[in-house]
Amino acid sequence: MPLDCDYSIRYPGNLTSSDECNLPCARNNTELCGGKNQILIYHDGAPGPSAAQTVGSWKYQGCYIDSTDSRTLLARIPLSGGTTIERCTQACKLNGYTFSGLEYSEECWCGSALSEGANKVSDDECSMACSGDVGQFCGAPGRLSVYIDEAEPPSPPSVNNNQTVCIDRDRKGFSLNAVYQNDSSTSPVPIKAITALAVPHIGYSILSGCASCFTSFPSYDLVDGALWLQSGNSILRATSYSLIEGESPSFISQQFLPPPYAGYCTTAYPSEASNKFVLAAKTRNDLWALCPNSTANGRMDVVWVPMENHPHYVKSACRAVWLVLN
């Protein structure tokens, strides 16, 4: 018979009659080793894992159903060296998220809100020990241990004081061109939404100046501050779901869309002689850049506030642009 070990009894394990564990052990028939579809369990007395109720400013919210078809939290952050509640919540906080979730012992997920229709279940269903700390629970297959950051939100980052005045948070059917801020001799670069990651029933897109890349979304809509990608097909569309310093603006496409990130607006073009409009985020239109992605053959991707030591680009190679509406 196989030998099974674990740090806890997994859901939906149920206690049954000891009479059902009636099979003798293969190497000692004077002892019992479980039964048909039954397991005989021993405990060494050491305390098992637990779901930490608070971790710093983060508070436990419960165990939620999660699936590849309908993610409860949308951004997965890889953690090397073992996953713990502390490491996952810290990673989510550093990336600007207020929700953190742990799944299947080692997966760390983040988000700004739980997806619509997220289902809470018994805490017993989140019963896998964390890969980096066997004294903690980190979800289970298809189950997410969820935490929320209850700290006061930090003040907006002070890059400089060049805030711009939003003109409009609603505009339909436009395209985008990147115009270099300090080089009027270079032609504008058409910006398109390209696929960054696709899993069953979910697509993730970013903005890029890649001329040879395919896009399913030829135009954009701005609706109450949220940026929507339009395909011309009412079934296929995507919405903005995160904007993080140092990263490309992100979009998600799936059947049930989460609440969108809604910090975009249009602003006046810096040249007084122009009647064009520029896309702004967080009231800033001057923090966009095109950066050659070193992990994608130098593809020129749009980045919001380029940062040092990024794994996909070198900050000094980025060029500041305006994102001009057409």
Contact 205, 229 (CB under 8 A): yes
**pLDDT for the residue numbered 140:** 96
**pLDDT for the residue numbered 269:** 87
Give the number of other CB atoms < 10 A from CB of residue 1. Answer: 11
Chain centre distance of CA 230: 22
**Is domain 54-149 given the CATH code 1.25.40 in the classification?**
no
**pLDDT for the residue numbered 43:** 66
> Residues in the chain with pLDDT < 70?
1-4, 6-13, 43-48, 80, 153-163, 272-273
Chain centre distance of CA 8: 29
**pLDDT for the residue numbered 15:** 79
What are the extents of the domains in the chain?
1-48, 54-149, 171-325
Cα–Cα distance for residue pair 305/24, rounded to 1 Å: 67
The closest alpha carbon to 321, from 302, 308, 295, 298, belongs to: 302
